[in-house]
Amino acid sequence: MDINQNLILLRGLPGAGKTSFAHLISEQGKYPVFSVDDYFTDLKGNYNFNFKENFLAYRWCVENTEKAILDKHQKIIVHNTFTMDWEMEPYFLLAQKHHCAIYVMTMENYNAYKNIHGVTKEQIMKMAEKYKVKLF
């Protein structure tokens, strides 16, 4: 590998600021940013989630991440809820396969359950119950 590549995973519950922070550290689009939500967002910015296609969205996100790695981007950012370890596993495998450094950043939600996708407080609380953070 001729350049140092970094894969950055941003995880957190809806409304934690993952999307905003991802775009901030992408340095105005210099580095690619991916999310499962992107799959459900049209060119006009309208978000239309379809649970039946969720598995396609996950695959799309992983495939685009690998393409960015192969394109030799120095920094690749992926922002998803990643509430369960299995959701991050494909990215760990990509980092290992392509000899990238991988970083996982957990973002806390200080926005009183507000989020752009209309996820309810009850849904967020259910997600929080499954959420695991590894401190060591």
The closest alpha carbon to 87, from 105, 69, 61, 64, belongs to 61
CA distance 36 to 20: 15
The closest alpha carbon to 58, from 32, 77, 30, 86, belongs to 86
Residue 91 is predicted with a pLDDT of 98
Any idea where the domains of the chain sit in the sequence?
6-130
pTM (2 d.p.): 0.85
The fourth-level CATH superfamily of domain 6-130 is: P-loop containing nucleotide triphosphate hydrolases (3.40.50.300)
Residue 42 is predicted with a pLDDT of 92
CA distance 126 to 1: 42
SS3 state at 116 = coil
CA distance 84 to 54: 15
Tens digit of each residue's pLDDT, the chain (136 residues)? 445 999 999 999 888 889 999 999 999 999 999 999 999 999 998 988 899 999 999 999 999 999 999 999 999 999 999 988 899 999 999 999 999 999 999 998 776 656 666 777 788 778 878 877 777 7
